[in-house]
Structure formats: structure tokens, C-alpha cells
Amino acid sequence: MTQAVHVPYTVEQDEDGVWCAHAQLRPGVGAHGEGENPEAAVADLREALEGLIAEFGAPQELTITVDVA
């Protein structure tokens, strides 16, 4: 069984040229990712979010999809 949690996020390039991705799971609980390109920043963000969701669980406000293999 696989669970997919859909988390809204933003991606922007900072003044030093580093790509940054940001997402908020709930007020006061968010995650950030960085990379050389937008894809790397989102991959880094995904890893951070997986850790947060494992620790705190997915907020009810987010969409959770369960796939049965």
C-alpha cells in the first residue's frame, strides 16, 4: 500500500542563484529544500517533507491518496 500526500509548495531562485522550494504542512511546521535547479530543490524538499510526515503525520487539510498495489 502506498500513500501519496499532495502538499502545495513554491519554488524560487534566490539572489545567489540557488533554487529554493518551500512548503508548509500546518502553521509553524514547514520544510525547505535547496538545489542547483528547480528539480533538485523539489527533490530536497520532498525528502524533508517525508521526514516531517513520518514524525508528525499528514495534516487533515492535505489530500491523501492511498494506492493498493
Please give the tally of structural domains in the chain.
1
- Please give the pLDDT value at position 14: 96
Quote the pLDDT of residue 58.
Answer: 72
Q: What is the residue whose three cell numbers read 529544500?
A: 33
Segments of the chain with pLDDT less than 70: 1-3, 61-69
pLDDT at 2: 60
The pTM (predicted TM-score) of the whole model is: 0.77
**Backbone dihedral angles phi then psi of residue 22, each to the nearest 5 degrees:** -135, 140
What cell does 11 get?
519554488
Segments forming the whole domain that contains residue 14? 2-67
Specify the pLDDT at position 47.
94
Task: Please report, for the domain that includes residue 12, its CATH number.
Answer: 3.30.160
